[in-house]
Amino acid sequence: MKKIINDANNVVNDMIDGMIMSNPLIKKLLNHNVIVRADTQQKIGLCLLTTYICQVRSTLKDRVALISGGGSGHEPSHAGFVGMGMLSAAVLGDVFTSPSPSHIVAAIHAVTGRQGCLLIVKNYTGDRLNFGIAAETANSQGFKVRIVIVGDDISSLELGSNDDTKRRGVAGTVLLHKILGAMAEQCKPLDEIEAMAKQLCKCISTLGVGLSSCTIPRVGHPSFQLGESEIEIGLGIHGEQGIKRQEMVDAKTMAKTILDRLLPYTTSNTFIVLLNNLGSTTNMELSIFTKQVLEYLNNDNNKKYSVIRFISGTLMTALEMSGISLTLLSIPDNINQNILLDLIDFKTLAMGWPVNSVFTPLSLNDNNIFDYKEIQEGNEDEFKKSITIEKVDADLIKTMIETSCQTLMDNSDVLTELDSKVGDGDLGITLDRASKSVLANLESLDFTRPCFAFGELSKILVSNLGGSSGPFYGIFFLKLSTSLFDQLQSSSTSQPTRLNWIQALKDGCGSIQQLGGGKVGDCTMLDALVPAIDSLYKLDHQQLTSTPLTQLINIASDAAHTGSLSTIEMVAKVGRAAYLGDRARGTMDPGAHAIDLLLSNLKNK
């Protein structure tokens, strides 16, 4: 088990201490695992809101108090939702363990005044029992306490049970925190808040999918096992059995699977949607899944679904479990939609609420795609078209580029494998993608006008190559273009010589060195590229002009190969591999090997 903790038996106390040390808006209740609003006892005077003005109050305890809680391990639920506009208090049990009634009663005493208290309880046996006993105890002591049980998980129903009381409480609970919290902040009475809660509970449905297990600190090993390519539909937030296990599918299929099961339980076609990260799901995955959910709801079976708010974030987790849950809140016909939206949008200072991830969805259209039209300054590209070469030479350049692209595509796996050892493992993939883009645009490039064509080739490479490869390959061809053009402009000629070409290649190589700050010996592509170009640059005029092109390529290829091999025992000084130090020694630099492969294949043609 690898967790950033101290004592596995004391994680909840340590976590609470960290919360109150980092958030001045909350406090811990003395001698209890209870988080309360820091302003609980403050005098507040008038409560001025856009649409509602409260009577003069003495403290926050003169409003309806909202209390939730449960086992820890679901953070930010529920302590992260304590704050203005949401909960008054949260009661924290041990990891995945319901809090004891004594802590819940203490929370009720701390935040409940004459307006009463509503306990928002997830539908688990331990929570129902402990919160129920606490409510009875507090009521017997003169407090006015009500309970609402949230059971939004449809898994039990999908497993064949027709008993709604067995539905587990999961991420849909957070929507009640937000909506009811806004009502309490507006000084709504307990009866009205409770009625809203019970109505919403009938309209909320949630279904999750787990991609991995989770580890309770005190246990020290995963609670269950999923296969390498296995997922579980309907997995509970404590690892409870889901509906079924199946092979991993893509995001589009996963969204359809979940929505096809959720939609039959909805009560209208207008939704507030909540996408919840179960723990370790990345923002990238959440965004991709968001796209698939919204596209499906916009296009499903010609039905007109309306998503008036989409909320995405980490709201109710299962420790480090990888996966997501999707909640649909159907807007009831007898609730004014605008009022509900005002409650969702109502300001909150609760740290766990994803303030910047609550939005009205947009479709992918011209309204949210920014189309940047490049503005060409001057006529430099037109000037470059003035440099021309014979068609036979242009065809040779085109063939060499085609061969180079094919070489990179054929060796994509080799380069990726090398890069995975010393870099981020994407070189082969990105060079393959760029090669395909070049080939797709090759017919549009007029190599009889080489300066212009190489400038366009630079743009293609920069647009399609990621990481550092894009800028390096792009700047090489851009400088090749401008160097050749400048040389011929200064000599007032339009036909480049071999000397012009070699100088342009050297200038292109120099631009890579200047941009990246690398040099020969730093274990980069330069260790193959610089020797290759220098092997030609050092030839005298007679040798350069009289030697057949095939032999010149052989000379350059041999130099590149020697340079590439030399990187095996080098320690990288720049780039991603530099962070590995001696651990990268023994692996050929993938960038240098790519140059070696390019020239080697040109030599064999």
Whether 169 contacts 126, CB under 8 Å: no
The residues, ordered by sequence, that sit 6+ positions from 439 with a Cβ below 8 Å of its Cβ are: 402, 405
Q: Of 364, 308, 402, which is closest to residue 602 (Cα–Cα)?
A: 402
Query: In this structure, what token pair is assigned to residue 323?
Result: 């996966």
Whether 351 contacts 76, CB under 8 Å: yes
Largest pairwise CA distance in the chain: 107
Interatomic CA distance for residues 254 and 285, integer angstroms: 12
Read off the amino acid at residue 284: M
The Cα-based distances of 505 to 473, 500, 559 in angstroms read 12, 9, 15
Whether 422 contacts 587, CB under 8 Å: yes
* DSSP-assigned states of every residue in 336-385: -HHHHHHHHHS----TTS-GGGEE----SSTTT-----PPPPTTHHHHHT
Q: Of 462, 580, 482, 472, which is closest to residue 518 (Cα–Cα)?
A: 472
* DSSP-assigned states of every residue in 441-507: HGGG--TTSHHHHHHHHHHHHHHH--TTHHHHHHHHHHHHHHHHHHHHHHHT-SS--HHHHHHHHHH
Whether 81 contacts 92, CB under 8 Å: no
* Cis peptide leading into residue 78 (ω within 30°): yes
Helix, strand, coil percent values for the chain (each to nearest 5): 50, 15, 35
The residues, ordered by sequence, that sit 6+ positions from 144 with a Cβ below 8 Å of its Cβ are: 112, 114, 115, 116, 117, 190
Catalytic machinery residues: 238
HEC letters along 213-278: CCECCCCCCECCCCCCCEEEECCCCCCCCCCEEEECCCHHHHHHHHHHHHHHHCCCCEEEEEEEEC
Whether 34 contacts 28, CB under 8 Å: yes
> How many other C-beta atoms are found inside a 10 Å radius of the C-beta of residue 34?
27
Whether 293 contacts 273, CB under 8 Å: yes
- The CA radius of gyration of the chain, in Å to the nearest whole number, is 33
Which run of H or of E encompasses 513? helix 498-516
End-to-end CA distance of the chain: 55
Beta strands in 74-186 (DSSP E): 89-95, 117-122, 145-150
Whether 252 contacts 292, CB under 8 Å: yes
Name all contacts of 437-445 with Cβ < 8 Å and 24+ positions apart: 437/461, 437/463, 437/464, 438/401, 438/405, 438/464, 439/402, 439/405, 442/398, 442/401, 442/402, 445/398
